[in-house]
Amino acid sequence: MKYASPSDFTAIAPDYSPSSGAAKGYYTTSDLVAQLLQIPDFTTTTSPSSTEVGSIIKRIEDYIDEVTRASWRPIRYSDEFHDFIFSGVRWFRPLYWSDYVGFIQLHNPDIRKIIRLAVWQGSSWKELASATAKVKISDYTNITSVVLKTPGFSGSDGVFTLTAGTTAATWDDTFGNKTAAEELVALINEVYPARTADMTGASTAKALQDGAANSNISDFFYATADYEDNRVSVIISSLLPGEDGSNCVIEVNGSGLTKDDFTDNEEMRRLGSWWAIEPDGKIFFRKNFPYLERQSIKVTYVGGNHRVPGIITDATTKLVACELLRHDDSTVLIAETGAQIDIRAKYDLLKEEANKSLDLMKETVFLIE
């Protein structure tokens, strides 16, 4: 696996809607697009503005992920189910031939973080990854707030107060325990509350920063409704590596809420409970594993290669430029071999070059019988 290259794009500080200056994505920036088109840099007052270019960058990055079936930015995959086939030690196969009793192949490679790894052991899911806490809603009419604190919090920095309410920065407790649980999940994950929006009237994604407005809650925590507890409980996973999340703090306010504190579940090492080949997306089980075969493993994880190759930045920049040229009523000329070419020719050339680059980066699947 190539770990790093001098050609990698490393100026990664995503800000698709800047208050000033350039828009920045994971794969390119609006300044790089302007340089390619040989025009002045985009700003918040140009037409199009850097914010508008940032919106195009975001869409093109998603297009590239879908075309290549890979990603070079963090993508979360939730509740991916897998069968488990026990292949443990047999009388004819000595222990030293294999140190695991079975493995699964995730749908996506380049694992950055296993958020939840749950195995079904006949009557309950056993959590094997991250540090998790749980909030149970017993009476939605008596809810005040849930407070999550990151390790080393200072004052309001690193402290997230999740207040019950009806805004995008709160969770709606109007309709019942299960609706409130789904609202709490959406707020922690900072996503559009698709499961409850028809009832609550929500029209935007949830968003919540810590008290010092330095961090977003979804940078540190991930939540899932617990369907084995009648969907009235929410499992909260820390996104910090390994056991670091066990130092997070959870508090609940209101007689309708109870909680279980953060507990470390993870023993990921070659001689531990399980281990992984992260670039390949393979997880191997040793000490804890499912007792049943079908749909007995549930995984939530962050995938995406940690490096952005120069070829991906080049393709992204060209495709963003194509979108600008396609909607440009004025003339933006780019010199090529000393001659000027028209808008249509520039568009066709950039599009062709970008697609050729993406063809080189597509995932190849080999089927062996």
pLDDT tens readout for residues 160-172:
999 999 999 999 9
Residue 337: predicted pLDDT: 47
d(CA 25, CA 254): 41
DSSP 326: H
pLDDT at 205 exceeding the cut of 60: yes
Residues across the chain: 369
The tokens for 346 are 């520039």
Q: How confident is the model at residue 296 (pLDDT cuts 50, 70, 90)?
A: very high
Mean pLDDT of 194-219: 95
pTM: 0.88
- In degrees rounded to 5, what are phi and psi of residue 37? -80, -5
- Contact present, 130 and 114 (Cβ < 8 Å): yes
Mean pLDDT of 281-293: 93
Q: How confident is the model at residue 369 (pLDDT cuts 50, 70, 90)?
A: very low
The tokens for 307 are 């490096």
Mean pLDDT of 299-308: 96
Q: What are the distances in angstroms from CA 280 to CA 72, 95, 112, 256, 306?
A: 14, 24, 11, 44, 13
Residue 94: predicted pLDDT: 52
List 29's β-bridge partners, or say none: 24
| Vertex 354: Cα angle to 353 and 355 (nearest 5) | 95
**Region of poorest pLDDT, from 2-11, 341-350, 359-368:** 359-368
d(CA 162, CA 145): 5
Based on C-alpha coordinates, what's the Rg of the chain?
A: 24
- Contact present, 124 and 228 (Cβ < 8 Å): yes
d(CA 48, CA 44): 8
The tokens for 96 are 């030293």
Backbone region of residue 242 per phi and psi (left: phi > 0; alpha: psi in -120 to 50; beta: other values): left
Q: How confident is the model at residue 342 (pLDDT cuts 50, 70, 90)?
A: confident
- In degrees rounded to 5, what are phi and psi of residue 362? -70, 145
